[in-house]
Structure 1
Amino acid sequence: MRTLYFDCFSGISGDMVIGALIDAGGDPVQMEEELKKLNIDEEYNLSWGKVVKNGITSTKFDVILTSKSEQTPEHSHSHAQEHSHGHSHEHEHSHGHEHEHSHGHGHNHIHVPHSHHSSRTYKQIVEAINEANFNESVANMSLAIFKKIGEAEGHIHGLPLDKVHFHEVGAVDSIIDIIGAAILIDQLGIESVQSSAIPTGSGHVHIDHGIYPVPAPATLEILKGVPIASKDIRSELATPTGAAIAAVLAETFGSLPAMNVELIGYGAGTKTFENHPNVLRVIIGETQ
């Protein structure tokens, strides 16, 4: 069985998942074409390229929004500058400020911004996926991950799923991260997903309701029933999007299974830590 293992020794976020899957051999150009089925491609550009994290070559993936009004830094997202065919501001998942040198693939089309799409409801996202005509596997994975996050947000805010209206999941970059990850997993022929325990980090994070402890409430709710690993790093290592991808797709959590390893990929986060590489490792191979 073709198995994907998430080795989350430095946490997990949506952009790290996509970076790792591209690094392992996924086709980002095909992913980009598939994502156009959502009919929101005027709202973003995609960028990917090689960076070095504490000695490990990895792939950094970014969603670059085409309107400044869509970038909402109060929502536990911060801005970093990338060097990828010039300077661009990315909309990141709580991975801080850092400069990277990237010799990547930059898409710098000029589009008319749609600032009213800075947030979307859960219901709107479901409708967009259902209308996009993705294949069944991609649609089912994407819907399940969004449902996991929507239910967590609804539980925290005391709202039924259909009434959940949020920025973090509704933001374009999270939509791209989740559906893009599903496209790449389907493209790579993955039949089974396993994961390590998820380190969440420590410290505090700024979200739209104020300063919260790490893991943030939504992340912790999403990780119910999932083994959490202890890490002393004072940073948010697992984002809601990354946590939901692992929580929904992984059938088991534990050490690396016995497998015939075929592909290995490293997806870079934005922050650099002194003593270990801030990357997500994916290992793909045949298991019994």
Structure 2
Amino acid sequence: MRSLIFEPFSGAAGDMILASLIGLGADREKVRETIESAVDVSVSVGNVNKSGIEAVDVKVHAPRETHHRHYYELVDVIKSAGLPVGVEQSTLGVFAIMAKAESKIHGLPLEELHFHEVGQNDALADVIGSCFAFHEIAADAVLCTAVNVGGGKVKAAHGMMAVPAPATLEILKNSGLYFYGSGKRELLTPTGAALLAYFSKPVENIPQGRVLSIGYGAGDADTEDPNVLRSILLDVQDTLSRDTIEVLETNVDDVTGEVLGNLFERLLSAGARDVTITPTTMKKGRTGHIIKVITKPQDSDHVARVLMKETGTLGVRVIPTKHRYVADRRMEKVAVSLRGEEFTVAVKIAQDRTGEILHMSAEYEDCRKVAEKSRIPLKEVMRRVEEEAWERFA
């Protein structure tokens, strides 16, 4: 599986994303022609050295603009630009993310919302060019490690604000991307955040794979560390993680239900990853149970001793297991409004190493408390929470 991975250790802006995609292999002439046919700008693509790293440098030359576009005016400009259908949809999607964030911050409906810097032709060029490059790279998955947003203060619409800028922070909140702050200047712009939010899914680490190509996109600032955005096109061999386990198993025919009920907690406390107890018929027609335990090899001896002491079994089988496939898991929180009151509930998200989400499940204890307080059936609370999670994170 061809996976595109961004490593924004020096943040990200629209021109950096575009430049890194060109460095990765997007055709620079096709990108330039697409931008210039859609927007009243000229584009130059070259190379520059940023603190010892050779990187692609994209410059958008636009006439000075004083007119601030309203959101729907910008939508009309995009729709009339004659872009390929997929590129147009992506461009509209990126600006919709920025519009939603600005609308929330300023408390304005979309029809009254107007853009300042992000509505200018140079920002429009960065987004259109990046969307075209994404579609040309045509990766099966796009992932993003934690983003460095920078530090210090940035000029916002209503004065100086701490980094990240309000719009950037709102986009990060809605996207679920991981981020941290390091440095003394703004490193992640709203345009960069919106592009990453639209196209990529968060990952903590780069998955195992074979490197196909690498791109470095230059930022405008000259910083002590290289002000570049690195992108990697990776052939990911295994989309699911693996870990090593052992399966312990024993049969018992003289253990009471109370002992078996207590056994679950004892085994889990001893290091078992999972426990199943299955009723069965044993020799001479006696009823019994098969106890099966999944555990790490280093915990097997201790778990087997607990199993023997708690049940009286005289032998525990170890079933050979090479490894098991496991989904990567992360915890997120979603807010749901029920009967006029807002609740925050934890959600467990299972995904593969490309970031594709396999399953989402609401945490039982959180949902139980919400159901009790709101007097809504538990199953309905869980359904609403998981629907909200799929809408936000999928």
TM-score under structure 2 length normalisation = 0.57
Check the 8 A contact 2:146/2:202 in 1, yes or no: no
Which residue number in structure 2 is paired with residue 4 of structure 1?
4
1:239 pairs with one of 189, 194, 197: 189
Aligned identity (percent) is: 39
Shift of 1:281: 0.2
Shift of 1:52: 0.8
Q: Which moved more, 1:176-185 or 1:198-207?
A: 198-207
Structure number with bigger Rg: 2
Which residue number in structure 1 is paired with residue 85 of structure 2?
136
Check the 8 A contact 2:22/2:28 in 1, yes or no: yes
Shift of 1:211: 0.9
**Alignment coverage as a number of residue pairs:** 236
Unaligned runs of 5+ in 2: 240-394
Q: Which has the higher contact order (CA 8 A, sep 6+)?
A: 1
Q: Distance in 2 between matches of 1:174 and 1:26?
A: 19
* Residue 62 (1) aligns with residue 11 (2): no
Shift of 1:37: 4.2
Q: How does 1:127-276 map to 2 (within 5 A)?
A: 127-224=76-173, 225-274=175-224, 276=225
RMSD across aligned positions (CA) = 1.7
The structure richer in helix per residue is 2
Q: Distance in 2 between matches of 1:251 and 1:227?
A: 7
Secondary structure of 2:118 counterpart: coil
For residues 122-179 of structure 1, the C-alpha deviation after alignment (integer angstroms, 9 at most, x for no partner) is 1122222223332232122111110000010111111112221111221111111111
Which residue number in structure 1 is paired with residue 27 of structure 2?
27
Secondary structure of 1:120 counterpart: coil
The structure richer in strand per residue is 2
Which residue number in structure 2 is paired with residue 110 of structure 1?
none
Q: Distance in 1 between matches of 2:209 and 2:120?
A: 37
Unaligned runs of 5+ in 1: 71-114
Check the 8 A contact 1:197/1:226 in 2, yes or no: no
Check the 8 A contact 1:199/1:228 in 2, yes or no: no
Q: Distance in 1 between matches of 2:139 and 2:18?
A: 14
Which residue number in structure 2 is paired with residue 95 of structure 1?
none
TM-score under structure 1 length normalisation = 0.77
Q: Which moved more, 1:128-137 or 1:152-161?
A: 128-137
For residues 70-123 of structure 1, the C-alpha deviation after alignment (integer angstroms, 9 at most, x for no partner) is 2xxxxxxxxxxxxxxxxxxxxxxxxxxxxxxxxxxxxxxxxxxxx6xx421211
Moved over 3 A (4+): none
- Whichever residue aligns with residue 250 of structure 1, its letter is S
Check the 8 A contact 1:152/1:222 in 2, yes or no: yes
Q: Distance in 2 between matches of 1:249 and 1:30?
A: 20
